[in-house]
């Protein structure tokens, strides 16, 4: 039976502080030896994910900006990614499924939320230098993080009891909210919908498959709900996110890439 692995990046495969995946190298090597597709499914942009695909020597499809876009290398599924319900666009070396909202609509919504009295500031309101300082990314990577298509990360300065009011205001605009390392405003897309599409395509390609997903934050919940083996790693404080409650959830014994490595080895050996 063919195994497929979906993974978040920040705080999961990548260390929270230095964005390194070194602790996960043993499992990554085993994945390559077994020829298991490793699908990056992240809130990061296309350019950010492409950077890590190069570092990982990864040639598989990937999911950007919390499920906003699916990028499939041309010919990967021998044209079996054609003819599904979502519009497929050719973009360079990829066939792209665009599931998310237009970025211009998300930027407009951020402005409207400020006008309504919410103290919010999106990546689009910040300089590259500000994004770099806030995220710990290099200037080059921070610039990649600001080149967005489907999802706007933002910071919210307000009392805890105001957050449900903010979420309600977002939903009234027919948009959605999720949370990773930042707050996010997005359209009618999430990681789970994108994972379901790719799972269907892999099923057509290989027949019976087994799916694994690894994450650490609430924005990973839709992804984790769609797979056979949902895994969460410990956050940088050694705790698991309290908002993640999924039947048969596997809690990795380790922080970030260390937990990722241990859990994946156990599932593959």
Task: State the pLDDT confidence band at 84, using cuts at 50, 70 and 90.
Answer: low
Going 74 to 76 to 82 to 84, the CA torsion angle's sign is negative
pLDDT in tens, 203-222: 999 999 999 999 999 999 99
Q: What is the pLDDT of residues 222-267, one digit of tens each?
A: 999 999 999 999 999 999 999 999 989 999 999 999 999 999 999 9
Positions of E strands within 92-162: 94-98, 120-122, 151-156
Q: Confidence class of residue 159 from pLDDT cuts 50, 70 and 90?
A: confident
Q: Cβ(190)–Cβ(176) under 8 Å?
A: yes
> Which domains does the chain possess?
2-99+190-268 (3.40.50.1000), 103-186 (3.30.980.20)
Confidence of residue 61 (pLDDT cuts 50, 70, 90): very high
- Residue with token string 């959830």: 249
For the segment 16-32, the average pLDDT, to the nearest whole number, is: 95
8 is catalytic: yes
User: How many CB atoms are located within 10 Å of the residue 252 CB?
Assistant: 22
In this predicted structure, what is the pLDDT of residue 263? 97
Q: What is the pLDDT at residue 181?
A: 83
Please give the share of the chain, as a percent, with pLDDT higher than 90.
85
Among candidate residues 8, 81, 151, 241, the one labeled active-site is 8
200 pLDDT higher than 80:
yes
Pairing of β 2-7 and β 209-215: parallel
Phi-psi region of 177 (alpha: psi -120 to 50; beta: other; left: phi over 0): beta
pLDDT average, residue stretch 20-42: 97
Q: Indicate the average pLDDT of the chain.
A: 93
Annotate 112-141 with b (16+ C-beta within 10 A) or e (fewer): ebeeeebebbbbbebebeebbebbebeeeb
Pairing outcome for strands 94-98 and 88-91: antiparallel
**Residue 85 predicted with pLDDT over 70:** no
Average pLDDT of the residues in 24-35 = 97
How confident is residue 180, by pLDDT bands cut at 50, 70 and 90? confident
Q: Is the pLDDT of residue 190 over 70?
A: yes
Confirm if 96 and 198 have CB atoms less than 8 A apart: no
pLDDT of 10 strictly over 80? yes
In the chain, the percentage of residues whose pLDDT exceeds 70 is 97
């Amino acid at each position: 039976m063919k195994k497929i692995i979906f993974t978040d990046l920040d705080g999961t495969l990548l260390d929270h502080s230095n964005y390194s995946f070194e602790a996960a190298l043993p499992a990554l090597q085993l994945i390559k030896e077994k020829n298991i597709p490793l699908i990056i499914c992240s809130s990061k942009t296309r350019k950010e994910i492409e950077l890590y695909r190069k570092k990982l020597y990864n040639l598989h499809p990937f999911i950007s900006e919390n499920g906003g876009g699916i990028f499939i290398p041309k010919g990967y599924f021998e044209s079996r990614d054609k003819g599904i319900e979502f519009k497929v666009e050719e973009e360079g070396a990829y066939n792209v499924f665009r599931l998310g909202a237009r970025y211009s609509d998300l930027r407009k919504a951020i402005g409207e939320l400020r006008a309504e009295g919410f103290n919010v500031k999106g990546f689009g309101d910040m300089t590259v230098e500000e994004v770099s300082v806030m995220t710990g990314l290099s200037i080059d990577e921070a610039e990649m993080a600001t080149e967005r298509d489907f999802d706007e990360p933002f910071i919210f300065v307000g009392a805890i009891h105001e957050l449900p009011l903010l979420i309600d205001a977002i939903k009234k605009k027919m948009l959605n909210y999720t949370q990773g390392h930042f707050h996010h405003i997005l359209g009618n897309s999430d990681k789970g919908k994108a994972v379901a599409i790719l799972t269907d395509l892999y099923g057509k390609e290989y027949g019976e498959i087994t799916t694994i997903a690894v994450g650490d934050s609430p924005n990973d919940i839709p992804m984790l709900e769609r797979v056979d083996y949902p895994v969460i790693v410990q956050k940088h404080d050694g705790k698991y996110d309290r908002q993640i409650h999924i039947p048969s959830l596997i809690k990795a014994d380790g922080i970030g890439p260390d937990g990722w490595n241990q859990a994946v080895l156990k599932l593959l050996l």
